[in-house]
Structure 1
Amino acid sequence: MNVKGHDVRGSVIDSETRCSHYHKEIDRIAIKFYCCQTYYPCHSCHEEDGCGNTKVWPKEKFDEKAVLCGGCGHELTVQEYLDCRSECPSCGTSFNPGCSLHKHFYFET
């Protein structure tokens, strides 16, 4: 699905990157998976429809854009996302703070 000018794959259900697995109002990011450089709304979407070779973002690459705000389409670096306090630095829209519980699926910890 095209979301704010970016291809987001998986079971995307709306224009703010919500998917069949995570679809609360505040679920509005997609993560570019390091292994395939493709945006997915969540790790489950990538498991179902991804490259089959999951790799997390290494710490030395945290300055690369890897998180898409479903509210405005702004791309955040990994570090910006980890530091953003569950809010897009560009448009101020809220992200799900519970996503921090899953960061090990996406980023080296």
Structure 2
Amino acid sequence: MMPHTQKVLGLQVDEETRCVHWHSEIDRIAIKFYCCGLYYACFECHEATGCGKAAVWPKERFDEKAVLCGSCGHQLAIQEYLECASVCPSCNSRFNPGCSLHKHLYFA
């Protein structure tokens, strides 16, 4: 059973938002893409099945909810996600700290 009600798109997405590209225990976030407003499991999934117009969130919109915890369904504002030290502020599930290496693909 999915712990959240958000639709998360991508390739072989499981109930905690893991996909064919990122599927370790701590890979449990999905990102709402600025360009299309839809949640995807990762950038590669958006490239494969998304709108074809990838665009990053501008800094002035970092107060908007665009990160989904796949464990509890909590939606984090971008700034909240960037400051959460790879831990969900709602359920304390760990996020993959390596995601910070890819933040430029999602956020300005």
Q: Gaps (5+ residues) in structure 1?
A: none
SS at match of 2:81: helix
Q: CA RMSD in A?
A: 1.0
* 8 A Cα contact 1:3 1:17, kept in partner: no
Q: How many percent of aligned residue pairs carry the same amino acid?
A: 65
Distance in 1 between the 2:3 and 2:38 partners?
A: 13
Match in the other structure for 2:19: 19
* 8 A Cα contact 1:12 1:41, kept in partner: no
Aligned length, in residue pairs: 107
Match in the other structure for 2:51: 51
Asked whether 1:107 is paired with 2:84, we answer: no
Match in the other structure for 2:86: 86
Spell out, residue by residue over 1:31-81, the C-alpha distance to the aligned partner (whole angstroms, 9 max, x if none). Answer: 000000000010000000000001000000000000000010000000000
TM-score (norm 2): 0.96
Deviation at 1:14, TM superposition (A): 1.3
* 8 A Cα contact 2:13 2:41, kept in partner: no
SS at match of 2:103: helix
TM-score (norm 1): 0.95
Q: Gaps (5+ residues) in structure 2?
A: none
Distance in 2 between the 1:3 and 1:33 partners?
A: 21
